[in-house]
Structure 1
């Protein structure tokens, strides 16, 4: 019996750990298809490599798994993979047969270190990979790694070295055009794009050197003119994005916006969320700098809509910063405060290094202001007097809230009854009744002058001039051709209300009808709905809406959605 168990175990062990060279190559190839097959499937095959008896393939399996975990931002501790790599990597024989896989391993190690922010170790890994590519006399791998090294030098700010490496790669591509065959154009495009991006960074660092901008645009334009590149939407978008960035740096904002708008069309088609995120931010910045605030706001809001992860970055923070400035200029104080507070709160979550970058960009020291606020809070917290005061205030607040709850429950009952009547009308598809001059049947006009003013008010209602932000007593009187005193008297006599009450009634009735009949409007924010009705801020709109309906706009929308 024991002999049978041993034989069975040996077979299982053999099946699990022993693979042919052909199998190992197939497993390894699965890594390069990870975006098509998915992470879980790829990790399954990398696990097979880790269990193999081949040290080179085993090491590749660990390096590939570490890279995938880091790329996917999984919280799993990847030190296990690194320990295994350090254990097996020195054991790989430095032979001609092993040069290609050693190259692949060091590329993966470099990519992992780069994603971890370990730039110098990443550079060393890439240089080691380049040596193995040269030893193997592998042109394709040599070109690829020179491009990677160029990008690392770019990240390190050593732009001259980056440019030299990128140009070395381009020269190799031209020399080996025939050998590269159908890979010639794809390799050339990547390196040309690399060179163009480096020239752009050189120009960003020194805007007096206009030849850098010209060189960058030359490479971008050459890419677009070379039909053999056969670029897809994503890569075409990247080229237009690069050109737009150059014109932003040149402060030619109109031209930059037109190029960025074009790039966004291609990124929409390719569904590239990362470049849509960057593209909308840069486009918004250009519109802001050219004082087109509405277009800038529209693009900045798209940036926030795309942002899904919780990782704070430069574009996200600056989006809130610029939105606060835009709303301030448009006198939308609540929105301005919201975005500025978000900026300050999220800024406090950044590392010291990122804070320095942002402080340099804004030319302000937010850390000092935030520190002062924290010190003030700590001082108050240490005083028992304030603790007692806070306690008393809390008790009073609770009492007030209790009274308000009782009062509100009664008001809500009345409001619900009123709303149910309204919903009954909506369900029968009846139009909402507006208390306006256009629907009143009991008006008895006293004279021609009165008739002229009432006709003017009817025209204002018909044209919906009351929805405009600038609609007020003075402008209404001017539009009708009368004076403010007489207009107020007419409204008071015939409507039994003030001009402001008349305006609010028209606006709220308009919004009630819009919310009832248009599902899209119900998806808007309170601020947006208020603006639709001509109110400057959400707070005023909500207060007036509640006064008329007995409930907030949000509660009204909830009930409408349930009823429909």
Structure 2
């Protein structure tokens, strides 16, 4: 990403955005210039520059030169080694920009703070809040380069937090702009920024397409990026990003050796910046590649590198959560309970961070281990390690637990068998299986003509006998329309003559039909639950299972299992 470049590049380009010539003639011998030239060639994060930066800031405060004050605070961000100090300086830059009453300065100050959150903290939600403010201010700015810079950052952050479609809208815009601008004749430094913007927009689009499950689009953009950046020392970092995507594609294609090679080279290409987010992604896929090749030692080593980054920066991407599950499973199989406990605790911590920083994506993650299971595992492991000498008691406790489980399982099996037998009797005797109430009432008092009632009862009987209730999506209103009557009349007749409301009536007919099929036609026993639901006109698998249990007292899966057992037993007895 072209805001994950070294801060010196960022500040340099930002000065261009501000239309402030880097070596303005009128400032060449000013006091501000004389102070700045003493530290401006120091490397970023070199805190030895800070006393001089403070001198610059103090002078700007004394002279109430708020634009210079903003510049001083931004220098503080550049040379501070501590990220919390960077954040404090960025707050001060916003304060100074507001004193200057300059919308341009204010917007750029918010952009700078968002950059600190994005680059130094990897706190994308916080960065997004700042970038949105900068985006509003950018609308008042006539500089298209700056506008696209802000749009790019918004797109990047949106992609990180899972809003890929929204991100793509912004990234396609910036990709087009920077590609067009990079082909124009302009100052080399500004052209460099445009090219970098184009490459990084291209890369981030590839990331979005990958997460949206569109590999062809990802591969196309990745190949374009690789062809443009390979061998170019000025864009070695960008080459690393595209190489990362190539390595992920190779992993997905099962080309594990080449995936490892690509990802390792990608890490080397990104070494000039501390972009630990993408480095951890590379570690993860390298580890998974080794794992697929059966090299568990190397695999676990790379998963542990992901954990090391997490420990250092309190940051983890949602897609890396699976690493901890793999580590836990590995050490559980090896019986190394201390390591299993450690990574269980780490996964609990990772879940808290993911839930805090990636709210939208957190709900979409498939978790092999949920929080309750992890807490139970953590407690179990802590007790096992602390009380190793009491292993016999632990085993005895496990035996008791297993006994309880077996007891409850046998009791459950007994209940299922009893309910199955009751249902079987109903099927064999034909009692109420189709859901109809066989009782008749001669003295119903309805505000409907007797002739109309008889007509509706006749239609209902025909409806039942012709299995018309199997039609999917059938409702009271639809059936009334088919009968050519008022839906209220139909509802009253069903209530009075079937003894239940229409929805219950329809459900019992459908469940009765499919239950009869399951019992009498063996082929139905091999259908998936989804197919059984469709066969009887019920749209949802879950809804079907719940309705089947409510009416028959047993889940469809249990009924099928018991029926198959009965059939097998009967066939064995006949041999």
Normalised to the residue count of structure 2, the TM-score between the two structures is: 0.48
Normalised to the residue count of structure 1, the TM-score between the two structures is: 0.49
